[in-house]
Structure 1
């Protein structure tokens, strides 16, 4: 029985690791400060940047956040380290341009929060603290509202 459980666990692990694969493509759309469309094999894949949350479009710094992301990725070749789907069917992932994490760069520039509910990379919280201390980006606002709280009011 123990061997059967072990075999099942290995098969399950192989299935999940094969289901989530890194992919590359060109960014053809920037939806907001944490969502992009990547063209993969002639079809767009909507990617939600994992572990970060950017201001909503109608929120303070929402437009600037989208512009910052666009400046980094639009029409650029990117690699996405996929982390599975989100509840809306988008692909969650860490996006890289020339080996640099765009997710981390958005936080470092003060254009997004480390999404506390989903963060697994603790260095993102440290990047946010540094951006906050330096008053970069949205941190110039004396009382910025986290996007997850802003969405609750809408």
Structure 2
């Protein structure tokens, strides 16, 4: 996920118009620009992986059709905006980890609070942490 700087501001606002999966949304800005946004520091289950539907549904319940702000870190190689997403006042990145429907993406995460949320979710056996050996998405993709 190499970062490339954004040409414009580091903060985007708008309305969430689509949920791709548990870590990607589409945001429609007030200027009617449609942005694909990847939530940084987390990685949600892949399409055929257990908890994919649950993860997508939880992000949808939190963000779909609601106002959102994206504190951007740049763009990835797929031209998605990378950032911390707040939906209707809630930190979506942290929420997904705390609900046990996304992993901390240790390779790219720089926020220690996400690690704490994941530990709490694991201790409470929330979501995917109910499974005996949940497979992180980055390992799933390698198969």
TM-score (norm 1): 0.86
SS in 1 for 2:116: helix
Q: Provide Cα deviations, 1:97-125, integer angstroms capped at 9, x if missing partner.
A: 23321000000000100100001001101
Structure 2: runs of 5+ lacking an equivalent = none
- Give the distance between the partners of 1:17 and 1:145, measured in 2 at CA: 33
SS in 1 for 2:74: strand
Query: Compared with structure 1, are the counterparts of its residues 43 and 139 closer, same or farther at alpha carbon in structure 2 (3 Å cutoff)?
Result: same
Q: How far 1:132 sits from its partner (Å)?
A: 0.6
- Give 1:113's match in structure 2, choosing from 77, 94, 103: 103
Question: Is 2:72–2:81's contact at 8 Å kept on the other side of the alignment?
Answer: yes
Which has the larger Rg? 1
Q: How far 1:18 sits from its partner (Å)?
A: 6.8
Q: Tell me the equivalent position of 1:34.
A: 23
RMSD: 1.4
Structure 1: runs of 5+ lacking an equivalent = 1-15
Question: Is 1:35–1:46's contact at 8 Å kept on the other side of the alignment?
Answer: yes
- Indicate the structure with greater helix content: 1
Q: Tell me the equivalent position of 1:86.
A: 76
TM-score (norm 2): 0.92
- Give the distance between the partners of 1:18 and 1:45, measured in 2 at CA: 14
Question: Is 1:20–1:83's contact at 8 Å kept on the other side of the alignment?
Answer: no
Runs of 4+ in 1 over 3 A off after TM superposition: 16-20
